[in-house]
């Protein structure tokens, strides 16, 4: 990419990015061609790919918003369970001219001219995804996790079919049968859940429901359950009931890539995922399956449910798959889990009721009932202290009652290079924020300043 210079006079009065500082010990290793200071002398460095300066020069109003968002992401503690920091290399691919290309179809079978090079990029992404997860077939075109699930249903089901999936109040995603989503409108969903006493998936209930309802597919995957799913148990139940098994590993596929979570690929007929959560790639979706289902899955993505693929996104997925195959990523994925376990312990020490007693993944859910706080007020108090997390309704919450929990994750702070000492600190800071102790925000900023997500390096 050509490096164009910013015009300092046109640089908006936006909050400056964090000052340049050394990458934290254990932080993200600079990828090849990684972060570069941008713009010519006078433009504040951002740590973003160099041609960001073109946007600053041409559209200072919008560039100001983007820089303010970079500042927010850098200054606050990012504990949203589904968020992460994509590398500068991933961001560079996203901002590349591949965004300009129409390429309906698949490599070698496009509806448009001029696809020779984007074919190579998509093939690279497919090959890397297959190698990373041991899959026979990968479709890297889904625009998002939801699009991937839609395509999986389209490949295996027809409207009206019965599907067994995690009930929404027990951690199911909207695509697992919400009436406000295509899934709940077009299919007959039956929901399984977690046990009231342990908070763990009730596999006996899954089996009973599967045998009673004979679903065409069983979906296993969740937005909130912090424990590993037993893919083999789901496979056994699906076989007994004569159902397809669809694993929605949107949250955990990055942990799988790093060897920190069990791989659903050997068990599920189709695996759906996002590429932007623990996998740390661009916002997007991914489908993995056996060779025999490949043509059906491909047709379900294009032309059935999507149009032209976003090649810039696909290229960025290829970059992320390569990063995830590197030795450093295994260390990252294991650190994500170690951090989550430690943070869960700290939160219990602060008086929160950590659901299931801990976590196997990046995800933590906790009930604030012992503190007499609602999830909404906890989220607000944390936000006021610069701590970004979600409110959450624990399973078995009473309908219509204000939710009493929070949901958080350690993928992003681990990418920033934070480890055990910082998790202890974050636990304390969350406790202080919940008690509305003054000056907590100053201490949050002091912590995040030491771990810039996009350290500015010399050009």
Told to judge if 110 belongs to the known catalytic residues of this protein, a careful annotator would answer no
Residue 190, SS3 per DSSP: strand
From 18-26, 142-150, 157-165, 392-400, span contacting ligand PLP (CB under 6 A):
142-150
Please identify, using beta-carbon distances, which residue of 23 and 279 lies nearer to ligand PLP: 279
Q: Which of 277, 280, 379, 425 does the annotation list as catalytic?
A: 277
Query: Residues touching ligand PLP: how many (CB under 6 A)?
Result: 14
Tokens encoding 311: 């090649």
Minimum distance, C-beta of residue 2 to ligand PLP, in the bound complex (Å): 31
Minimum distance, C-beta of residue 83 to ligand PLP, in the bound complex (Å): 10
The residues, ordered by sequence, that sit 6+ positions from 415 with a Cβ below 8 Å of its Cβ are 28, 84, 85, 280, 332, 453
Distance CA 384, CA 374 (A): 15
Ligand-binding site membership of 402 (annotated): no
- In angstroms, the Cα distances linking 326 to 136, 187, 333, 374, 442 are 21, 40, 11, 41, 36
**How many other CB atoms are found less than 10 A from the CB of residue 249?**
31
Told to judge if 104 belongs to the known catalytic residues of this protein, a careful annotator would answer yes
Does residue 145 interact with ligand PLP by CB under 6 A? yes
Does residue 27 interact with ligand PLP by CB under 6 A? no
Ligand-binding site membership of 34 (annotated): no
Minimum distance, C-beta of residue 176 to ligand PLP, in the bound complex (Å): 7
Cis peptide before 303 (omega within 30 of 0): yes
Does residue 144 interact with ligand PLP by CB under 6 A? yes
Query: What is the number of alpha carbons within 13 Å of residue 191 lying toward its C-beta?
Result: 20
CA-nearest of 56, 46, 54 to 9 is 56
Distance CA 106, CA 412 (A): 33
Task: Give the x/- contact pattern for ligand PLP in 164-183, rule: CB under 6 A.
Answer: ---------x-x--------
Distance CA 279, CA 200 (A): 25
From 5-13, 72-80, 218-226, 344-352, span contacting ligand PLP (CB under 6 A):
218-226
**Cα maximum dimension of the chain:** 69
Distance CA 6, CA 63 (A): 11
Within residues 219-258, the interface with ligand PLP by CB under 6 A covers 221-223, 248, 250-251
Told to judge if 277 belongs to the known catalytic residues of this protein, a careful annotator would answer yes
Ligand-binding site membership of 422 (annotated): no
Please identify, using beta-carbon distances, which residue of 52 and 321 lies nearer to ligand PLP: 321
Within residues 70-109, the interface with ligand PLP by CB under 6 A covers 82
Q: What is the CA radius of gyration of the chain?
A: 22
From 34-42, 121-129, 145-153, 291-299, span contacting ligand PLP (CB under 6 A):
145-153
Please identify, using beta-carbon distances, which residue of 312 and 425 lies nearer to ligand PLP: 312
Ligand-binding site membership of 443 (annotated): no
Distance CA 443, CA 427 (A): 13
Please identify, using beta-carbon distances, which residue of 215 and 285 lies nearer to ligand PLP: 285
111, 306 Cβ separation under 8 angstroms: no
Q: Which of 40, 102, 195, 457 does the annotation list as catalytic?
A: 102
Does residue 274 interact with ligand PLP by CB under 6 A? yes
270-274 vs 244-248, strand pairing mode = parallel
Residue 64, SS3 per DSSP: helix
From 182-190, 215-223, 287-295, 305-313, span contacting ligand PLP (CB under 6 A):
215-223
Does residue 409 interact with ligand PLP by CB under 6 A? no
Please identify, using beta-carbon distances, which residue of 173 and 381 lies nearer to ligand PLP: 173
Distance CA 269, CA 192 (A): 20
Binding-site sequence positions for (6S)-5,6,7,8-tetrahydrofolate: 168, 172-174, 291
Binding-site sequence positions: 168, 172-174, 291
Catalytic residues: 102, 104, 248, 274, 277, 283
Binding site for ligand PLP (CB under 6 A): 82, 144-146, 149, 173, 175, 221-223, 248, 250-251, 274
């Amino acid at each position: 990419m050509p490096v164009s210079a910013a015009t300092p006079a046109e640089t908006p009065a936006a909050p400056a990015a964090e000052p340049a500082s050394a990458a934290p010990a254990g932080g993200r290793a600079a990828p090849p061609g990684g972060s570069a200071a941008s713009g010519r002398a006078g433009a504040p460095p951002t740590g973003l790919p160099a041609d960001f300066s073109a946007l600053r020069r041409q559209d200072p109003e919008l560039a100001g918003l983007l820089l303010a968002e970079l500042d927010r992401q850098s200054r606050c503690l990012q504990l949203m369970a589904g968020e992460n920091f994509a590398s500068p290399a991933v961001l560079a691919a996203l901002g590349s001219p591949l965004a300009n290309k129409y390429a309906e179809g698949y490599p070698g079978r496009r509806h448009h001219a001029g696809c020779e090079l984007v074919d190579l990029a998509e093939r690279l992404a497919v090959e890397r995804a297959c190698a990373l997860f041991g899959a026979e077939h990968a479709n890297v075109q889904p625009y998002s996790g939801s699009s991937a699930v839609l395509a999986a249903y389209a490949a295996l089901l027809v409207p009206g079919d019965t599907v067994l999936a995690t009930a929404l109040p027990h951690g199911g995603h909207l695509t697992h049968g919400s009436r406000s989503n295509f899934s709940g409108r077009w299919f007959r969903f039956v929901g399984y859940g977690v046990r009231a006493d342990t908070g763990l998936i009730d596999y006996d209930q899954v089996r009973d429901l599967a045998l009673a309802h004979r679903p065409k597919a069983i979906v296993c995957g969740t937005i909130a359950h912090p424990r590993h799913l037993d893919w083999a148990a789901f496979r056994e139940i699906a076989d007994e009931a004569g159902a397809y098994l669809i694993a929605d590993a949107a949250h955990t596929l990055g942990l799988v890539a790093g060897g920190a979570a069990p791989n659903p690929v050997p068990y599920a007929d189709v695996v759906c995922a996002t590429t932007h959560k623990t996998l740390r790639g661009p916002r997007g979706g991914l489908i993995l399956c056996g060779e025999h289902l490949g043509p059906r899955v491909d047709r379900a993505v294009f032309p059935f449910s999507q149009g032209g693929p976003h090649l810039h996104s696909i290229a960025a997925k290829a970059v992320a798959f390569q990063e995830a195959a590197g030795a450093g990523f295994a260390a990252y994925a294991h650190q994500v889990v170690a951090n989550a376990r430690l943070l869960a312990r700290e939160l219990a020490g602060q008086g929160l009721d950590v659901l299931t007693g801990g976590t196997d993944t990046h995800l933590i859910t906790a009930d604030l009932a012992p503190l007499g706080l609602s999830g909404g007020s906890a989220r607000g108090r944390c936000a006021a202290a610069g701590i970004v997390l979600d409110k959450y309704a624990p399973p078995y919450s009473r309908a219509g009652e204000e939710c009493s929990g929070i949901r958080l994750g350690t993928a992003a702070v681990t990418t920033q290079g934070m480890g055990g000492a910082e998790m202890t600190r974050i636990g304390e800071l969350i406790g202080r924020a919940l008690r509305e102790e003054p000056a907590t925000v100053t201490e949050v900023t002091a912590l995040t300043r030491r771990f810039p997500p996009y350290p500015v390096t010399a050009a």
